[in-house]
Amino acid sequence: MSNVEKLPVQPRREGRAVTLIGTDLPAPYLEEAEPSPLMHSASLWWRRLVRALQVLAVILLVGFYPAMIVASHSINDDPVILAADTPWASPETGMAVTLIGRELEGPGWAEDKPGWHPQARLTALPAWQDAVVTALSQYERLAAGKARTNDGNPDPDLSAAARLLAPEAGLDQTPRLSAAAEALARYEGRLERDLATSPAGAQDFVDELALFASWADASHDRLVSRIGTRDGWPAAEEDIQAFFEARARAHVASQLLAASMIGDPDIAMRPAVQERLDQIEANWRRAAELDPLFVSSQAGNARLMADHLAMMAFYIGQAGDATKALGSALLAEETAMNTAVEAAKQISDGADASES
């Protein structure tokens, strides 16, 4: 077959056999030989679509991991509402178990995640979780000393919970928290069967207030030490840790304070408590709910951005001062009541002696 026969049009049978340069080709041949405008446009748009998909794939690969880091930052600071139909024998224990469950069943323990996990890159959530369980550990240690056994030793389940709640470097915290929740559940079961005791009375509540005030002092001191530094923009890692530690302590204090009022309603009826309780709870909640989109710690006059560390230091300082004032007022009231009772007893004993 000749090259002419391979052409898409029939060869010409008349005229010159050779086409000279510049001679017009037949119209049917040009229509078949030139690319179609529609196909040319389709090919152009196809190349553009492929290029756009490639760029989109790169953007997704680059932005997916940071997006997962942002999404994995999940802090639940909502007030805990204990079920009314199945009341806890110890509302404080129910509050502690609920706070533990929130972290395990919610975001999970950040420091137990492998290095590739997005939560392993977080700063705020680990600081929040460590402060929550550390505060609970200190509270349960105090409660264990108040709820002593018949032989005078601290309650074993509360002591075990306090030990397991304390973070240990190099150990997975998730199984320890689960074991701590189980110890608290055992204590609750013993308490329901009158096989254990719970802290009660004005003096025990004053000791709890002193513990809460110490949390406020520790947070305030660390925040003040970081205010005005220029270690990062908009905030350094230590600034973020100090901020969320204070938030976590304020959250735990506000929830345990509410649980104590439920567990011992007689304390809530004391005049000193009635006058100050609402304001104290509001102060703690204001510190616990200070939740900026991102923490800013700007030295100088903070002309462009807020100084959240200074705000938190002010709020947590107010909560600590109010808590100390309530403890002092309640202790003074308790002392006055004891003095009055003792004086009445002495008068009664004196009257009985004179009659005899």
pLDDT per residue, tens digit, the chain (356 aa), is: 555 555 555 555 555 555 544 555 555 555 555 566 777 788 888 888 888 888 888 876 677 677 777 777 788 889 988 887 788 999 999 999 999 999 999 888 988 888 888 888 888 999 999 999 999 999 999 999 999 888 889 999 999 999 999 998 888 999 999 999 999 999 999 999 999 998 888 889 999 999 999 999 999 999 999 987 877 778 889 999 999 999 999 999 999 999 999 888 888 888 878 888 888 999 999 999 999 888 888 765 656 678 899 999 999 999 999 999 998 988 888 777 777 666 666 666 665 556 65
223 in the same domain as 174: no
What's the N-to-C CA distance of the chain in angstroms? 149
Same domain, 295 and 221: yes
234 lies in which domain range?
201-266+275-332
Give domain status of residue 189, yes or no. Answer: yes
Taking the C-alpha atoms of residue 344 and residue 174, their distance in angstroms, rounded to an integer, is 55
Is residue 20 domain-resident? no
* Residue at 139 is within a domain: yes
Is residue 249 situated within a structural domain? yes
Q: Are residues 235 and 256 in the same domain?
A: yes
Residues 159, 246 share a domain: no
How many domains is the chain partitioned into structurally? 2
Same domain, 319 and 214: yes
Of 162, 163, 161, 158, the C-alpha closest to 199 is 158
Q: Is 36 part of a structural domain of the chain? A: no
In a domain, 52, yes or no: no
Residues 195 and 219 in one domain: no
Residue 345 belongs to some domain of the structure: no
Burial string for 137-174 (b: 16+ CB within 10 Å, else e) reads: bbbbbbbbbbbeeeeeebbebbbbbbbbbbbeeeeebe
